Amino acid sequence: MVKDRRYIADLMLMRLARWMRMAGHDVSNPPEGADDSDLIEIALAEGRTLLTRDKLLAKRCEKAEARCILISSSDLDEQLSEIEDAGIFLEPEPVRCTLCNGLLQEVVESESCDDPRRPEGGPALWRCESCGKLYWRGSHWRGIRDRLKRRDS
């Protein structure tokens, strides 16, 4: 199982990228206005595996000797299965911000959390170091778990 690899997703796979981050994977968003050549350059420079649905881009990656995973389905569940078929482990883990790919820091109990949606007495809370978004294990988390589990049956 591959866990320590880094990725960059192309714009067609932003949803898949978010789901991979929920499983703790480091998945970069493409910089604004980045074209295919930029993506390949970033993949090479940062040692990231490019995730794309674009066959031509995948071919260009191969030529440039950049790592690439070509996703064929447009359906999220099938895409997640393709990711698992590539040997990438998917289990929800509070490590990465699903929006910006920042690292999550566990918030200590004494710190206040004003978000009214947070469940009462929820023990674990995480904050994104980059954008400040808060995460906790609640109904949203269970939803992720269910979605990832559902595909096993």
Answer whether 133's CB lies under 8 Å from 118's CB.
Answer: no
Q: What is the dihedral sign for C-alpha 75, 77, 80, 84?
A: negative
Pairing relationship of beta strands 26-28 and 6-9 according to DSSP bridges: parallel
Each residue 110-149 as x (binds Zn ion by CB under 5 A) or -, in order, gives ------------------x-xx-x----------------
Judged by CB, which is closer to Zn ion: 30, or 68?
30
In the three-class reduction of DSSP (H, G, I as helix; E, B as strand; rest coil), residue 114 is classed as coil
Out of 6, 36, 102, 140, the residue judged to bind Zn ion by CB under 5 A: 102
Give, rounded to a whole angstrom, the gap between the first and last alpha carbons of the chain. Answer: 20
Each residue 52-91 as x (binds Zn ion by CB under 5 A) or -, in order, gives ----------------------------------------
Distance in angstroms (rounded) separating the CA atoms of residues 47 and 123:
36
How many residues of this chain bind Zn ion (CB under 5 A)?
A: 8
Judged by CB, which is closer to Zn ion: 87, or 138?
138
Distance in angstroms (rounded) separating the CA atoms of residues 4 and 115:
32
Q: Does 105 bind Zn ion (CB under 5 A)?
A: no
Out of 97, 104, 125, 144, the residue judged to bind Zn ion by CB under 5 A: 97
- Residues in touch with Zn ion (CB under 5 A): 97, 99-100, 102, 128, 130-131, 133
